[in-house]
């Protein structure tokens, strides 16, 4: 009798472990897709600011540009962002050990999605990239705009400031919700480092620099230079590469508990 109960409990635990593996791997795959697309499109967008640095990769960049154009970059970008965000959410709820940070993460995700729907032209992450929202998303957002009237007003009056605030707070929530129990996974460590770095760079470039640009003429002039575009977005591309490496490792090692 005791042995039978023990066997049932073991089978139940094995089933739960398998489901966690499936959700965790699915989350890594979503993050991998989103991070790769955003890194490539951002690299292409800031290509003029990089000058001779990318000359050696000219052929590959041209191929990427043509491929993304054939796919339809407009919708692809939105779905890449959505894939990245949903990947973070699923990963946090699967491996995170603090229910409070999971809930805060979910609330933060709602505001990020609202920002992408109602103010895509001022997305902090995708400033240099043409970023349009699919028609069905626009219609859905317009039909529910009344529920988020105050938030929409803030986006209209302070688009870039709200972009910095929403993105930085959300990135901090994602990082906090990915806190691991032992043993720690290298894959999640890479992803978390990339997200934490995005939070730091968003605070600097999305909040502090715009504030300084409004009050210091030199800073304002510098932010219009091509070099600033590279300083702004090269770290973002590096952070996305960390997420890519982490999610690739996580996708491959499905069998690890």
Judged against a pLDDT cut of 60, whether residue 129 lies above it is answered with no
Provide the pLDDT for residue 89.
92
- What pLDDT, on the 0 to 100 scale, is given for residue 166? 82
Using 50, 70 and 90 to split pLDDT, how confident is the model at 125?
low
The predicted pLDDT at position 13 comes to 58
Average pLDDT over residues 43-65: 66
| Predicted pLDDT of residue 73 | 57
Average pLDDT over residues 185-200: 88
Report residue 130 as tokens.
């043409």
Query: What is the Cα–Cα distance from 166 to 119, expressed in whole angstroms?
Result: 12
| Angle between helix 159-177 and 149-157 (nearest 10) | 120
pLDDT score for 57: 62
| Contact present, 96 and 102 (Cβ < 8 Å) | yes
pLDDT digits (tens, 9 = 90+) for 75-105: 677 788 889 999 999 999 988 888 898 899 9
The predicted pLDDT at position 30 comes to 93
Please give the residue that has the higher pLDDT: either 184 or 9: 184
Flag whether pLDDT at 252 surpasses 80. Answer: yes
How far are the Cα atoms of 36, 81, 114, 171, 233 from residue 238, in angstroms, in the given order?
11, 17, 26, 16, 9
CA dihedral 135, 139, 145, 148 (to 10 degrees): -50
């Amino acid at each position: 009798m005791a042995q039978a109960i023990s066997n049932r409990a073991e089978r139940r635990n094995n089933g739960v472990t398998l489901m966690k593996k499936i959700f965790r791997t699915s989350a890594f795959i979503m993050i991998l897709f989103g991070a790769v697309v955003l890194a490539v499109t951002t690299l292409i967008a800031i290509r003029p600011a990089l000058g001779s640095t990318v000359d050696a990769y000219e052929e590959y960049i041209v191929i990427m540009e043509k491929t993304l154009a054939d796919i339809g970059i407009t919708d692809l970008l939105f779905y890449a962002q959505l894939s990245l965000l949903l990947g973070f959410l699923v990963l946090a709820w699967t491996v995170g050990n603090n229910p409070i940070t999971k809930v805060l993460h979910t609330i933060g995700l709602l505001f990020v999605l609202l920002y992408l729907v109602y103010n895509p032209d001022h997305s902090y992450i995708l400033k240099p990239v043409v970023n349009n929202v699919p028609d069905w998303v626009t219609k859905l957002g317009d039909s529910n705009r009344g529920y988020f009237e105050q938030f929409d007003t803030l986006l209209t009056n302070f688009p870039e400031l709200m972009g910095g605030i929403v993105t930085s707070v959300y990135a901090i929530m994602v990082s906090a919700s990915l806190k691991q129990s032992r043993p720690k996974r290298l894959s999640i460590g890479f992803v978390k480092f990339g997200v934490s770095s995005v939070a730091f760079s968003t605070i600097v470039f999305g909040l502090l620099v715009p504030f300084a640009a409004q009050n210091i003429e030199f800073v304002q002039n510098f932010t219009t230079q091509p070099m600033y575009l590279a300083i702004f977005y090269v770290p973002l591309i590096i952070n996305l590469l960390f997420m890519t490496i982490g999610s690739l490792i996580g996708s491959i090692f499905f069998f690890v508990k």
